[in-house]
Structure 1
């Protein structure tokens, strides 16, 4: 039997869209819409690809995949990554709690994030989890809490390399340079404060500086950016080593994330329309430049644990979003326009109200082989403008059809909100023929469960 494969885990069979071996039309009928659906095997394949690529290019030491929890913060997803040996970078108390619920070994967790308070720092010290310092005040908290607990804190410095010779503009914000964006962003220790922190760390009885961390983000896929980042990162490590006495070398070096998904169809990145590196490309470029830059400074890379933090690259194409067509509206007098009214919303998809270039590939799941018929505006259910996709060519669409939005696996469901008092959608996990809830749909009662009526209101 011949199937049309969109990728290894998405196919068209008998005119229906399948994710792994599950018919998306049957999933929509059984579990309801709107609905997020994640492919377990696609996620595992992506993780293994990044691990294999970086391990082959970094023989000096261990490679640790610190999968970004924020991209898809669901316990079952985290447990799959844990099963596959991935660690995680956590930003804030909620993500640390999810890492613990996801059974991530403590040695494979990092407590990261700006604006950390004493509570999370104390918890990390008590559990023996490394703390990624973001400011001098966090170093003070570490010293005080470690002394109180009588347990040494292991710390990592989150630094912001100055990309002095890079003049590229950001894919995130095309009117600004990457150099500017990486310095004005809130996270990371400002250089002027970093140099004052090193003497304190050198003399500290309670904090052990074990590594460095940087995370520029999804600013560019171009080799020039990654070369500049790793070159100037190594230069900053050299300066830290000198201030530490000249013989200090990090045991852990995190290069952060910012890797593009292979299809690179993004909701929050305006510029994506140029070649996307493979995991092997990223690994070769990053490790080669970092090794070369460290050697030039006379610093050894032997034994360094190299950490990477893929988020989009792991999750983006692993999930789809299913929505049912409620109605078709037509205008033929003043303008020629057709609207597909759906039961989903921009508020569930993390997008704005008018998408002239829709951030998702859209398929008619129940007639996926049908030829294009006409342009439609795909619109959502709230009182917002809600043009999820403007004038997209589709087969002839009717009420009760099922639409599938592809590449909705990263930074989508996590942004869902309750505008118009709507309950948020649930999420299914599929593996082969199997399907199961991993996050059930919110109920209408749950939307209002935090509301409190003061006693003076009848």
Structure 2
């Protein structure tokens, strides 16, 4: 991204005002080179230090074009639902590199995954282990699995996106012995082949020490499993959660720092415990697609409360980015058509939904804004589209992929007809 000679923001070699003219607003914009470079950075950082696989966590941003790019860059894919799996299959993603997560997979989702021949099922609980076994036996099939372990690591992040602590809906708890019981159960369960362990400590994590600690705990557990059962693992999936820059105060590391935190830890622990060095799997999602995306909005009304606050409203909001309302996520923004102008006022960006909590950014410094200006919000590639809704019956925005002066629509804008598509009026209401 840069500011061009017209004083406008430019992304992928295209003036964003031209994108607005061609595609309208709100508009999700994905920088293809940025997305691909992020894939390569993680892949190179980890594979340089040993046997590793980078798996793109598609819950952050999933559609067929995104899956296709991840496949072209040689990544695996993490899916957590039948819908994400179906998207991957329609995109032609290599099935052997698909990892299926989730704490309540349905029988239909499990059957769909088995029929597709996915590489790994990440089993989250005893109910799923039994259900998977039943379906596998009915199909005379053996599925490679990982067990999701809750290691008891407190990641320094928002309460709503912590997952590695003991009190979590995910996984088999390590400190209380449940994880070891799960391993023994999996070894005794027909239809499954236990090849590895998985953990995930949270999202938007900046402290590389948390990842190192999780890796150490998981390796110790692998050693404990060998001691009690004789079983050895070939894979250790350390999840994702790598933090990115959203606003002032965020200090993300780089992929090399993450690799340097976990790869030597796993390798040294393997030697210490006299167990095989497992393939390390990591699952960045936000860190790949988040920085590659921006969202464009058109500014409309404004309201000034003297001495208190000036509200500036945009034509989107919590329907295309729920994160600020959900857990007070912060963002950075500029006025795209005044990108070369100095800030003159402090305003708060309000969405158009009928909710007082629909605030996108509070107290941001901008040039003096007017109706018709275009606001660009940075680092919105992750969890905007995938958590979007039709609240207030607002159609979801379009998404474009930009690259070296070309802009391609990869998600069409919803219409009012799309919103009504599944509505049904019973015959008795038509009288």
Q: 1:400: Cα distance to partner?
A: 1.1
Which residue in the other structure is 2:393 paired with?
421
Match of 1:38 in 2: 30
Which residue, 191, 194, 202 being the options, matches 2:179?
194
Match in the other structure for 1:371 = 342
CA displacement, residues 14-57 of structure 1 (integer Å, 9 cap, x when unaligned): 20000020110111111111111000100000010000000111
Deviations 1:69-125 (A, max 9, x none): 100012111111111111111112111111111211111011211112322223333
Change (3 A) 1:115 1:95: same
CA offsets 1:144-177 (integer angstroms, 9 cap, x no match) = 22221112221111112244xxxx6632129x9x
1:139 matched residue in structure 2? 129
* Distance in 2, Cα, partners of 1:387 & 1:208: 48
Using the alignment, how far apart are the partners of 1:124 and 1:169 within structure 2?
31
Distance change (3 Å), C-alpha of 1:424 and 1:250: same
Preserved CA contact (<8 Å) 1:317 1:407:
yes
Counterpart Cα distance in 2 of 1:387 and 1:142: 43
**Where does residue 111 of structure 1 map in the other structure?**
100
Q: Distance in 2 between matches of 1:391 and 1:150?
A: 60
Provide the TM-score with structure 2 as the length reference: 0.92
Change (3 A) 1:444 1:340: same
TM-score normalised by the chain length of structure 1:
0.87
Question: Secondary structure of the residue that 1:182 maps to in structure 2?
Answer: coil
Gaps of 5+ in 1: 1-8, 266-271
Return the offset for 1:249: 2.2
| Helix, strand or coil at the partner of 1:47 | helix
Does the alignment pair 1:309 with 2:301?
A: no
Q: Which residue of 1 aligns with 2:235?
A: 252
Equivalence for 2:73 = 84
From the superposition, tell whether residues 426 and 325 of structure 1 become closer, same or farther in structure 2 (CA, over 3 Å): same
Matched, 1:229 2:214: yes
Return the offset for 1:220: 3.5
- Describe the shift of the 1:398–1:156 C-alpha distance in structure 2 as closer, same or farther (beyond 3 A): same
**330, 344, 350: which one aligns with 2:322:** 350
Q: Report how far residue 195 of structure 1 moved.
A: 2.9
Aligned to 2:7: 15
- Provide Cα deviations, 1:242-296, integer angstroms capped at 9, x if missing partner: 333x2x32222211101112x244xxxxxx8353211101101111112222222
Distance in 2 between the 1:203 and 1:250 partners?
15
Residue 354 of structure 1: how far off its partner (Å): 11
SS of residue paired to 2:427: coil
SS in 2 for 1:370: coil
1:204 Cα offset (Å): 4.3
Match of 2:157 in 1: 171
Partner in structure 2 of residue 215 of structure 1: 200
Deviation of the 1:68 alpha carbon? 0.4
Alignment CA distance shift 1:51-1:286 (3 Å): same
| 1:353, distance to aligned residue in structure 2 (A) | 5.1
Q: Identify the match of residue 97 of structure 1 among 81, 86, 92.
A: 86
- For residues 394 and 289 of structure 1, what CA distance do their matches in structure 2 show? 45
Written as runs of structure 1 = structure 2, the 5 A alignment for 1:395-406 is 395-406=367-378
Any idea what SS the aligned residue of 1:99 has?
A: helix
Change (3 A) 1:306 1:169: closer
Distance 1:370 1:145, change over 3 A: same
Cα distance in 2 between the residues matched to 1:358 and 1:393: 17
**1:325 paired residue number:** 299
Separation (CA, whole Å) in 1 of partners of 2:224 and 2:31? 44
SS in 1 for 2:103: coil
Contact 1:361 1:405 in 2 (8 A): yes
1:238 and 2:223 equivalent? Answer: yes
Q: CA RMSD in A?
A: 2.4
Kept in 1, the 8 Å contact 2:155–2:164? The answer is no
**d(CA) in 1 for partners of 2:113 and 2:193?**
14
The whole-number CA distance in structure 1 between the counterparts of 2:151 and 2:353 is: 43
Of 52, 69, 72, which aligns to 2:44?
A: 52
Taking structure 1 as reference, are residues 367 and 149 closer, same or farther at Cα in structure 2, changes over 3 Å only? same
Pair 1:151-2:125 in alignment: no
The equivalent residue for 1:278 is 254
